[in-house]
Structure 1
Amino acid sequence: MTTPEAAPVLAIRDLRVSFPTDDGVVHAVNGMDLTLARGETVGIVGESGSGKTVTTQALMGLLKDTSASVTGQILLDGQDLNALTEAQMRAYRGKKIAMIFQDPLSAMHPFYPVGVQIAEAYRVHNAVSKKAAAAIAVDMLGRVGIPDPRRRYAAYPHEFSGGMRQRAMIAMALVCEPELLIADEPTTALDVTVQAQILDLLNELQAETGTSVIMVTHDLGVVAEVCHQVVVMYGGMHVEQATVAELFHSPRHPYTRGLLASMPTLVGESERLEPIPGVPPSLLALPGGCLFADRCPEAHRVPDNACGTRPPTLVGPDEHPSRCHLETLPPAGEVVR
């Protein structure tokens, strides 16, 4: 794992994304803030429907020219990507910011060989010949661990195994050496051995290129292995943010503690996993108070039903804020006058 530099490569300010539907407006992301340093890896975790993937789609500009409403700032090296048109965004997508999709088979075109697609991705942003781009693609396939890369250059996506397709997807994302790489559940469909190989590969390539990484995952084990920082999302909001060590040892939000309690371990005595009761809130009609209140085992500790009536704000130290009313309670035993 590389040590990040202080200068931020990405700054997200009050990102909000909503989608009109026949049933009403879906508020998928509701005020996301994030700063990412150069060479840093940030993990975004949360249950399905918490807004993780929509956030990354907004960063990539994939929601432009759609019915989605995207507000807020997405500053990449000071340039607000959200202010760009779709045509302007194409100059950044692939060159400055790239993405590894969850399913590489559906992300690749089945009609073209894998190597040709990687070479094309390089030529879009670099004025080189087809022969030079092909050589770069072959080299990149070798760098990500594809055996016999010259022969595999002409193979089609369906001729690759799942792990090899994921490696090829990484090669395509990194061929232009972007400043920011987004990995959306890059190891979900892989067995544990291949998963470990892919994570090691990402760490090695990040060390080589200095690329900053956003890792979207539901797997806290992956976060512990590759990330510097963690952002926990729930109901389209980030409810806690901290370093990996701080979050795992001293989680502050009840939702984060619930996620950690439902995570299996391979050490110590076998214990029964404790799932979080209930279901996430509907993003069509967000409750007026804390989004986690109905599922929270500690909401009764907050007086005046504040959890059910008043939305909490991020409070606590800058290096470990939490969106929870419990943070405003006096320490146990202290008398409030």
Structure 2
Amino acid sequence: MTTPILDIRDLRVTFPTDDGLVHAVNGMDLVVQRGETVGIVGESGSGKTVTSQTLMGLLKGTSAKVTGRVLFDGTDLVPLSESEMRPYRGRKIGMIFQDPLSAMHPFYTVGRQIAEAYRVHNRVSAKAAKAQAIEMLNRVGIPDPVARYDSYPHEFSGGMRQRAMIAMALICEPELLIADEPTTALDVTVQAQILDLIGSLQAETGSAVIFVTHDLGVVAEVCKRVVVMYGGQCVEEAGVHDLFFRTAHPYARGLLASMPSMVDEAGRLTPIPGFPPSLLDLPQGCLFADRCPVAALVPDDRCRTERPGLTLVGSDHRARCHLAEVDIQTSALDLQEVAR
């Protein structure tokens, strides 16, 4: 069996604060196969970005404490030092940041920054790196790439900056690309162009891609498999079709119910009531129990006293829910009706 490009086991990340430890990631598991496209979705504060930053080693040298395993091509990245992590960051694992304007240095030209990313991992001359950067700008659709090489980030439009960020992330042809909200600040037309661009470059390079997003529409369009995060945990993992049509976790159903529908224009959105749990003081039981519309139906108040594990509810479909253990898929319970 082929070794997955990424295998995360029981990843936990805490940050010390004056008020106590913030448990940002709480036992995250994730496996990504080579060439696969996986989406990670969830509300703000669910641990999506912290997980991706951990994969890039961006928390090394900070006050964060990271435990668990992050196996990249069989090598555990967690115990690596900053110097040991450098050959992986950028060369083997690339990242498209959410806000390219703040991710790029304002004092250096876009082309110089892309060329520098290439020279860090390749022993080439400045002239060769410049040529490679111009070629990459052309591949991502930047008009007149030779002239634009000397432009500064503020001289690019939002869509062009995002394309330049993609060029920087892919110039070394990494085996894994992490796209953290790559289309959030873009209009619909540019968003579609960026998604098509990432897909075409992925086909060329064979990279695996992790999309970190809150946009379920993007997930439905580009991802093969989806991981739903809540409170720093994976609460549901499934193929795209199963997530949308055989949803097993009440939180995931709440996310789908809160989406606007193109079919039922007169329908009302169903928001998820309440707030996510405090990451300073996690509850003993299910992290979603206080907001769950069906927690009261589980016997012996298990949802508030016992934290559920990931349960297999179908082929390659898992959910972290006590109701999943009694076959939530075949029960007569309609979670959306209960939520109303």
TM-score scaled by length of structure 2:
0.95
Give the Cα separation in 2 of the matches to 1:315 and 1:193: 39
Of 226, 248, 251, which aligns to 2:247?
Answer: 251
CA displacement, residues 179-213 of structure 1 (integer Å, 9 cap, x when unaligned): 01100000000011100100010000000000001
- The answer as to 2:15 corresponding to 1:15 is no
Q: 1:224 aligns with which of 220, 241, 244?
A: 220
1:113 aligns with 2:103: no
Write the distance in 2 (CA, Å) between the matches of 1:78 and 1:93. Answer: 16
Query: d(CA) in 2 for partners of 1:222 and 1:332?
Result: 30
Shift of 1:318: 5.8
Equivalent position SS for 1:313: coil
Correspondences of 1:1-337 after superposition (within 5 Å): 7-316=3-312, 317=314, 319-329=316-326, 332=331
Distance (Å, rounded) in 1 between the aligned partners of 2:41 and 2:225: 11
Whole-Å Cα distance in 2 between the matches of residues 21 and 270 of structure 1? 46
- Give me the identity figure in percent: 72
What's the RMSD between the two structures over aligned residues?
Answer: 1.3
- Aligned-partner Cα distance in 2 for 1:235–1:81: 23
SS of alignment partner, residue 259 of structure 1: helix
Check conservation: 1:116, 1:134, Cα contact below 8 A.
yes
Count residues with an aligned counterpart.
329
Corresponding residue of 2:336: none
The AA in structure 2 aligned to 1:10 is L
Report the Cα distance in structure 2 between the residues aligned to 1:268 and 1:303, rounded to whole angstroms: 36
Q: Secondary structure at the match of 1:18?
A: strand
Deviation of the 1:110 alpha carbon: 0.6
Q: CA deviation at 1:65?
A: 1.0
- 1:332/1:205 CA distance change after superposition, 3 Å: closer
Q: Residue type of the partner of 1:319?
A: D
Closer/same/farther in 2, CA of residues 225 and 129 from structure 1, 3 Å limit = same
Q: Secondary structure at the match of 2:136?
A: helix
Q: Contact between 1:302 and 1:329, CA under 8 Å: does it hold in 2?
A: no
Residue type at the aligned position of 1:119: A
- Say whether the 8 Å CA contact 2:15–2:64 is kept in structure 1: yes
Aligned partners of 2:179 and 2:209 also within 8 Å: yes
* Residues 10 and 37, structure 1, Cα contact 8 Å, conserved in 2: yes
What is the CA-CA distance between 1:284 and the residue it aligns to? 0.2
**AA paired with 1:124?**
V
* Offset, 1:29: 0.4
What secondary structure, in the 3-state scheme, does the structure 2 residue paired with 1:238 have?
A: strand
Cα displacement string for residues 161-182 of structure 1 (whole angstroms, at most 9, x for unaligned residues): 0000000000000000000110
2:94–2:178 Cα contact (<8 Å) kept: yes
Contact 2:3–2:73 (8 Å) recurs in 1? no
Tell me by how many angstroms 1:264 deviates: 1.3
Q: What amino acid does structure 2 have at the position aligned with 1:248?
A: F
* Conserved 8 A contact 2:11-2:69: yes
Deviates most, 50-59 or 269-278: 269-278
Give the residue type in structure 2 aligned to 1:326: L
Following the alignment from structure 2 to structure 1, what is the Cα–Cα distance between the partners of residues 2 and 223? 16
Please list the CA deviations of residues 140-159 of structure 1 after superposition, one character each: whole Å capped at 9, or x if unmatched. Answer: 00000100111100100000
CA distance in 2 between counterparts of 1:203 and 1:34 reads 21
- What amino acid sits opposite 1:255 in the alignment? Y
How far apart are residue 329 of structure 1 and its match? 2.7
> Distance between the aligned counterparts of 1:266 and 1:123, measured in 2?
47
TM-score w.r.t. length of structure 1: 0.95
Partner amino acid for 1:151?
Answer: A
More deviation in 268-277 or 126-135?
A: 268-277
Q: SS of the residue aligned with 1:8?
A: coil
Q: Secondary structure at the match of 2:226?
A: strand
